[in-house]
Amino acid sequence: MRFSKNYCLLERYSSSILFPFTYHSPFTYILPDGREYVGEFKNGKYNGRGTLTWFSEDKYVGKFKDGLQNGQGTFTFSDGREYVGEFNDGNPLKGTMYIEGNLIGKWLNGKEQ
């Protein structure tokens, strides 16, 4: 089990279960599958600004609502691609995809253009 400066031992619970607390300071939660979330919580779910990192080293930095990516954020893939834009319920909504700083695609209404 890994610990960080601020930590929460909720690994045995599903993140969909509501917990009666709100934490607005940077807070680290390490999930059983190796993902790590650092950010704000409300009612036991990711809410506000945060960073979610996968074991594969994919990483999302941005806003969350009710445990999902919502609002402005950046998703960086382990292969170097980067999506910058808006998310809605965990899905890309409107944004731009880059690789090594070069534009490679645009997203509008959740579909690649």
Mean pLDDT by 10 residues, the chain (113 residues): 35 40 66 86 86 92 94 94 94 93 88 83
Cβ(103)–Cβ(96) below 8 Å: yes
Count: domains in the chain: 1
Q: Which tokens in the block code for residue 65?
A: 């609502």
Listed residue (36, 41, 39) closest to 49, CA to CA: 39
Q: What is the pLDDT of residue 51?
A: 94
Q: Does residue 31 belong to any structural domain of this protein?
A: yes
Whole-model pTM: value is 0.76
Answer whether residue 11 is part of any domain: no
pLDDT value of position 13: 38
Rounded CA-CA distance 112/100 in Å is: 19
pLDDT of residue 25: 58
Residue 7 DSSP class: B
Residue 14 domain-assigned (yes or no): no
Residue 30: strand, helix, or coil: strand
Which domain range does residue 83 map to? 22-112
Looking at the domain assignment, is residue 57 inside a domain? yes
